A and B are shown apart, each in its own frame.
Chain A
Amino acid sequence: MGEQSIEPSGLYETRASLYWWFSTLLTRELDEDQLARYTTGAGRALLDDLSEDPKFSPSVDKINRALAQIGPMEHPALELAADFAELFLMDAKAGASPYASVYQPDGGLLFQKPHDDMVALLKSQGLAVEARFNEPADHIAIQLDYLGNLIIKEGSQVSPAQATFIEQHLLSWIPQFVKSTEKVKNTGFYQGVCQLMLDFIELDHEEILAA
């Protein structure tokens, strides 16, 4: 992709929304009301729409199976909260650490170069991580949030910056992250979400390059 191309208006908002949606899902646990919207509501509608694309349908199936499994449980939201914790909130060995630094070939400490790079990138855009969130800047939710922001800022322009960001800051580690989620055996909701997210990022990246 060389020159910038113009997208039909509204599409970039959808792309940004989807990135933000994944960011939200990976920021914190769903409460009962939020979870309900995935059985009947905006979440259900979105999942149904996404499953129409053959690339996305396997992971949406996984999500749907998880929802069906927890539906009849006594505390569905808590079950998912336990899944979320097991995957993302404990230590990296047991689950799937949501920080890019941990997947570096050397060492695997938190707050390494991927964090530093994100801090610099955010700063260049006049941004910083919300003080209350208090996570290293290479948290997946922050990276996705940033990308959404970038898309909105560039509007209908699909620029090299987005492709570069996806390559250097997302695809550099998210495949390993998704693989890590698969070693945890629980309802599979978040495993599905993460796989869906990766599928979407890959598709989006292809589209950007093709444009």
Chain B
Amino acid sequence: MTLSRRSFLKGILATSAATLVGPSLLSAAFGSETAGTWKVSGSHWGAFRARIYAGKVQEIKHFEADKNPTDMLKGIKGILYSPSRIRYPMVRYDWYLKRQKSDTTLRGNNRFIRVTWDEALDLFHQELERIQTQYGPWALHAGQTGWRQTGQVHSCGNHMDRAIAMHGHSVKKVGDYSTGAGQTIMPYILGSTEVYAQGTSWSLILENSKTIILWSNDPVKNLQVGWNCETHEAFAYLEQLKEKVANKEIKVISIDPVRTKTQNYLGCDQLYVHPQTDVPLMLAIVHTLYKEKLYDEKFIEIYALGFDEFIPYVLGAGDDKVEKTPEWAEKICGVSADDIRGLAHLMAKDRTQMLFGWAIQRQQHGEQPYWLGAVIATMLGQIGLPGGGIGYAHHYSSVGVPSTGAAAPGAYPRNPEREENRIHKNDDFKGYSSTIPVARWVDALLEPGKKINANGATITLPDLKMMVFSGCNPWHHHQDRNRMKKAFHALETVVSIDFTWTATCRFSDIVLPACTQWERNDLDLYGSYSSRGIIAMHKLVDPLFQSKTDFEIFTLLAKKFGQGEAYTLGRSEMDWVRKIYDDCAEANKGKFDMPDFDIFWKEGWVDFGQGKPWTRHADFREDPEINALGTPSGFIEIFSRKIDRFGYDDCQGHPKWFEKIERSHGGPGSDKYPVWLQSCHPDQRLHSQMCDSEEYRATYTVQGREPIYMNAGDAKARGISDGDLVRVFNDRGQLLAGALISDDYPPGIARIHEGAWYGPVDETIGSLDTYGDPNTLTMDVGTSQLAQATAANTCLVEFERFTGKAPEVMSFGGPQEIS
């Protein structure tokens, strides 16, 4: 060492540096290392065993009982250890200084400060107080839902609802983004939501159906995930179906604009139909069945109402004076008149099972295809027969796998036990609605006080000032991102509780770090609709950084207003896990043997076995009087008097064809924006969950962006090669995506999976999204005045090859590529 350096260091008083030094971060180590332990846990993607060593999840392998584990298990470590994790409570800096007077246009500028949990919860509580006292319950909306994480004790929506309810009243929602239209209309037609109901067992379909119509339905893609811990039992049936298709025992037709993952797996037929034109196709099928007397008159007579009021519309005696012939339909839907007739003949010929997916009802007038599907099924007269009739959920959470009949474990109580526990009793909503259709909250922000029709009621959109999101990412699932961005300015305070920096968190004022489902003890139903068993969710590691469980977060909040004891009912986390298990065992007493909790916890699960095959609507078919449907009349309602009386022009007394605001292939708007953008559920995520798993995302991104699947001809015409960066745009917004050319996509059709994390270049409106969030482009309108539901699949775009320097992806916490 040179002398000058040594003397330089000497010159620095050790004391001056020493006095600036804080307490040590290290302490004496104690405790010996175990060899590593295996624990059990679950997820939307299925159950697994994890090896824990040195305080870390080292390895994950699928649970033995799962015979068809999904590849997505590989993404779990990437969620747990994601650099996108929210590590500390954070408050938006400008909001911290100015509270409700903050510059809300700055939301999304990424400038936060860290606060302690105590301070964060004080702020949260103070805001709840201010809203209740300065405004009233109409100004607070804490009811939006997402797919949360799994686990019944820590169900994040329940905790948010409970804590908020213990403080005061607030605006709630009805419906959800997945099935808003379907779940609203189907009770009028078949007497239940149908989308959240068990369906005819797969085994009965395989044994009895001669024809299966997969109408806009991709079960092979969607059954990878489940609302509860997914068992993937349905895949065994799909494997059998594949064989039967190959042996020509069953004919499967996928009616879909694109070649789906299911079609490719089964090797089945496809009937291409122009996007958003299924209704003309269906009306023409009805026409054919009627004219050629291929329909079951007797069945209609006994089980349905309103056929005679509906059929004139099909025959050209309705207001539009248009006969819904196959020739008429052909011009709109792109299916030849011969093929339409052929399809009607096929469906009428033998036992036919219709299975609808959900994407088709996420378009403008999404109520119509579901209604018409039921009408066709009614005309075929096979509702209630094994392998006949219609299902609306066989792609979802083990529907079709027979229910064991076992009682499922309950969840953390979402409602306070006693009204006395509520601090603010004020339930005067001052003329605003206390419940709104879930997807109309942005409308509320833009036009408070506006009256809209919804499902027979008049909704007065409330003047919202504060929103709370718990495990919910509207900055993924809501449409028209730029419209939303503008609307968001109207909120004074936004609180988000999540474990990862979703766009919702980036655009919030108070961000509270929840931990993942693998950092807490819990239990879950194994197999949502099958009730196959109960799975233990052992805490794999302690909550990382400063994150906390949902249970703890909301207990601490409740303590702020003196309701801590009432919130927990005196129970700890493990007490609750035990209690929910014990209550479930009690409910199953005499029917299903459940071991003591400690044995269950050690073993990792309880197996209820297999259920008995079952046919949907069979009891109704057997006796429509005793087993009446839940419709107003008790019968299938082809014509609904109730809906008719609402007087809505966009959802009338019987199913109808309504032209869309924008539609490709010759429809409105297609000259300006010729491509239909389909934004269905992703193949390698659960909505937006797991998008932040860096390694896993890298397996499907194109130049680091979400893929846009497109037709080869469309690409060529625009000078786009496979793997190019593409700017996708319309009047509502713009995004960057990576081109993936595929034969599965016909001309004029492109797909970007929803759940792609929004990462705009900056917080301005119209800012280019760097990752590929399709909701930058979608339209924010209600399906109709009936359901006011999400209409994401009514969307036209154009795209072009992106030239110039591409902005880096802004959505995630992963490190920048160091050049």
Contacts and interface: CB of A to CB of B under 8 A. Distances in A.
Interface of A: 8, 10-11, 13-15, 17-18, 20-21, 23-24, 27-29, 34, 37, 42-43, 45-46, 49-50, 52-53, 75, 78, 81-82, 84-86, 89-94, 97, 99, 102-103, 107-112, 115-116, 119, 122-123, 126-131, 133-135, 139, 141-142, 145-146, 149, 176, 179-180, 183, 203, 207, 210-211
Contacts of B10: 8, 10-11, 14
A127 B28 contact: yes
Nearest to B18: A17
Nearest to A74: B97
B20 A42 contact: yes
Nearest to B11: A49
Given A52-B11, A134-B546, A128 B816 contact: no
B112 A90 contact: yes
A46 to B, nearest CB: 5
B52 interface: no
A128 B82 CA distance: 23
B810 A179 contact: no
Contacts of B569: none
Interface stretch (B1-9, B65-73, B560-568): B1-9
Given A21-B17, A90-B112, A207-B5, A108 B90 contact: no
A42 B694 CA distance: 43
Contact of B12 (A14, A84, A119): A14
Contacts of B88: 89
B818 interface: yes
Contact of B22 (A11, A27, A81, A97): A27
B26 A127 contact: yes
Nearest to B545: A134
A97 B113 CA distance: 16
Nearest to B56: A111
B54 interface: yes
Contact of B544 (A94, A116, A133, A134): A134
Give chain A's interface secondary structure class.
Answer: helix
Contacts of A18: 12, 17
Interface in B11-44: 11-22, 24-30
B413 to A, nearest CB: 30
Given A11-B6, A52-B8, A142 B26 contact: yes
Contact of A45 (B16, B93, B110, B818): B16
Give chain B's interface secondary structure class.
Answer: loop
A211 B5 CA distance: 12
26 contacts: A8-B6, A8-B10, A10-B10, A11-B10, A14-B10, A14-B12, A15-B9, A20-B21, A49-B11, A49-B12, A49-B16, A52-B8, A89-B112, A89-B114, A93-B83, A97-B83, A99-B83, A109-B78, A112-B81, A127-B29, A130-B24, A131-B27, A145-B25, A183-B816, A207-B1, A207-B5
A185 to B, nearest CB: 11
Contacts of B12: 14, 18, 46, 49-50
A128 B27 contact: yes
B812 interface: yes
Contact of A91 (B8, B20, B84, B545): B84
Given A78-B97, A109-B83, A128 B110 contact: no
B20 A43 contact: yes
A52 B12 CA distance: 10
Interface string B799-819: 000000000111111111010
A15 B111 CA distance: 34
A128 B32 CA distance: 12
A91 B812 contact: yes
Interface string B150-169: 00000000000000000000
B93 A180 contact: no
Contacts of A90: 90, 110, 112, 501, 813
A27 to B, nearest CB: 6
Contacts of B114: 29, 81, 84-85, 89
A86 B21 contact: no
B20 A37 contact: yes
Interface of B: 1-2, 5-6, 8-22, 24-30, 54-56, 77-78, 81-85, 87-88, 90, 93, 96-97, 110-114, 501, 544-546, 694-695, 808-816, 818
B82 to A, nearest CB: 7
Given A128-B29, A146-B26, A116 B812 contact: no
Contact of B82 (A15, A28, A110): A110
Given A81-B113, A134-B544, A93 B809 contact: yes
Contacts of B24: 130, 145, 149
B29 A176 contact: no
A93 B26 CA distance: 28
Q: Which 4 A-B pairs have the closest CB atoms?
A: A91-B813, A17-B17, A128-B29, A24-B22
A78 B96 contact: yes
Nearest to A179: B818
A125 B149 CA distance: 39
B814 A108 contact: yes
A97 B815 contact: yes
B110 A129 contact: no
Contacts of B546: 134
**Most chain B CB neighbours (cut-off 10 Å) among A27, A43, A110, A180:** A110
Contacts of B2: 210
B29 A126 contact: yes
B96 A108 contact: no
Nearest to B79: A109
A49 B616 CA distance: 82
B83 A110 contact: yes
A102 B815 contact: yes
A109 B56 CA distance: 13
Contacts of A180: 815-816, 818
Contact of A130 (B25, B695, B811): B25
Contacts of A78: 93, 96-97, 113
A133 B25 contact: yes
A42 B19 CA distance: 7
A1 to B, nearest CB: 11
B26 A135 contact: no
Contacts of B695: 107, 109
Contacts of B811: 93
Contact of A24 (B20, B54, B112, B545): B20
Nearest to B541: A111
A192 to B, nearest CB: 15
B437 to A, nearest CB: 34
A13 B813 CA distance: 37
Given A90-B110, A102-B83, A110-B85, A14 B9 contact: yes
A10 B9 CA distance: 10
Contact of B21 (A21, A50, A176): A21
Given A11-B6, A85-B90, A129-B26, 9 more contacts: A14-B14, A20-B18, A78-B113, A102-B815, A108-B814, A109-B81, A128-B28, A128-B30, A210-B2
A139 B25 CA distance: 10
Contacts of B85: 91, 110
A93 B112 contact: no
A57 to B, nearest CB: 12
B174 to A, nearest CB: 35
B87 A89 contact: yes
B816 A126 contact: no
A24 B24 CA distance: 9
Nearest to A14: B14
B77 A116 contact: no
A89 B511 CA distance: 12
A162 B589 CA distance: 65
B248 to A, nearest CB: 47
A116 B54 contact: yes
